[in-house]
Amino acid sequence: MKKINNEQKLNNYLSLNKIEDYFTADMKNWMELFLFTKNEHLCREGEEMNYLYFFVEGRAKVYTTLSNGKSLLLSFYEGFKVLGDVELFQTHGAASSVQAIDDTYCVGIYIPAVREYLLQDSVFLTFMGKALSEKLNMLSKNSSINLYYPLEHRLSSYILATGVKAERIIFKENLTYLAELLGTSYRHLLRSLDMLCKKGMLRKRENGYEVINEIELRNLAGDIYR
């Protein structure tokens, strides 16, 4: 995590996302701009989270750790999102882990300095209620996806969300970890990747896969994990 001392860039994010409208008082003096580089964690499950973050640019994946030690994908973040909303109301550590897929910018507010005020701000609490209800609906939907959607569909969504976007999307991942994250076996994952290749959506490369039919892959992925 790196603090970015660029007031113009901070102001642009505040204006674009209308963040100052979510508070009764002017909270700008408490706001800081942070950069999380690719693969860096914005938060880790169970660890203390001292900032309320407004996710304003980049991509990240959200996952939880099960009692058996394995990880399970919950969703992806892209576009405006809120992190630390659950943690604002309880002190048991982050509810899940969030890891940057690309370089990611967040506007942060240091919670210990403003917690008491925020918990009495009706405008902010109304905004938090909406954000939490959207998050609950998303998690409920994505839990069903992990149970009922075929692996090919979930894998397609993951490839599109995490692939490196160049002339064509390039997908490189530790497949053992990916199988765990998608709640499947390594062999089943390999079969699904092979099937996507046979259907003309992917092409195997030396160190990964190349998306050669993005339209069909997006049709297969739909809005899974969104």
The secondary structure of 132-192 as a DSSP string is: HHHHHHHHHHHHHHHHHS-HHHHHHHHHHHHSEESSSEEE---HHHHHHHTTS-HHHHHHH
Bigger pLDDT: 224 or 105?
105
207 and 113 belong to one structural domain: no
Q: Considering only residues 150 and 3, tell me which one the structure prediction assigns the higher pLDDT.
A: 3
68-107 tens-digit pLDDT? 888 888 888 988 999 988 888 876 788 899 999 999 999 9
Count of structural domains, the chain = 2
- How confident is the prediction for the chain on average, in pLDDT? 90
Q: Are residues 129 and 174 both part of a single domain? A: no
Maximum separation of any 2 CA atoms in the chain, in Å:
57
**Residue 111 falls within a domain, yes or no?**
yes
Asked if residue 164 is part of any domain, the answer here is yes
Whether 106 and 29 share a structural domain: yes
Q: Does the residue 129 lie in any domain?
A: yes
* Domain coverage including residue 93: 2-146
pTM equals: 0.86
- Does the pLDDT value for residue 226 go beyond 70? no
For residue 185, count other CB atoms closer than 10 A to its CB: 12
In a domain, 20, yes or no: yes
Residue 72: half-sphere exposure toward Cβ, Cα within 13 Å:
16
**What is the C-alpha to C-alpha distance for residues 83 and 75, in angstroms, rounded to an integer?**
13
CATH of the domain at 93: 2.60.120.10
User: Based on the domain organization, do 120 and 194 belong to the same domain?
Assistant: no
* pLDDT exceeds cutoff 80 at 51: yes
Same domain (yes/no): 67, 109: yes
In a domain, 205, yes or no: yes
Condensed to tens digits (0 to 9), the pLDDT of residues 108-155 reads 999 989 999 999 999 999 999 998 888 888 777 766 666 678 899 999
- Identify the three-state secondary structure at position 128: helix
Same domain for 117 and 198?
no
Question: Could you give the angle at the alpha carbon of 151 between the alpha carbons of 149 and 154, nearest 5°?
Answer: 70
Considering the domain architecture, whether residues 108 and 157 belong to the same structural domain is answered as: no
Give the pLDDT of residue 74.
87
- Residue range 53-69: mean pLDDT, rounded: 91
Report the Cα 187 to chain-centroid distance in Å: 27
Asked whether residue 14 falls in the same domain as residue 120, the answer is yes
Winning range, highest mean pLDDT, from 27-41, 130-144, 173-187: 27-41
State the CATH number of the domain containing residue 196.
1.10.10.10
- Contact assessment for residue 183 and residue 142, using Cβ atoms and an 8 Å cutoff: no
Of the chain, the end-to-end C-alpha distance in Å amounts to 25
Query: Helices 214-221 and 151-162 meet at what angle, rounded to 10?
Result: 120
Predicted confidence at residue 147, as pLDDT, reads: 64
In this predicted structure, the answer to whether residue 4 has a pLDDT above a threshold of 80 is yes
Predicted pLDDT at 148: 72
- Is pLDDT at 215 greater than 70 in this prediction? yes
DSSP SS3 for 22: helix
Model confidence pLDDT, tens digit, residues 188-201: 999 999 999 999 99
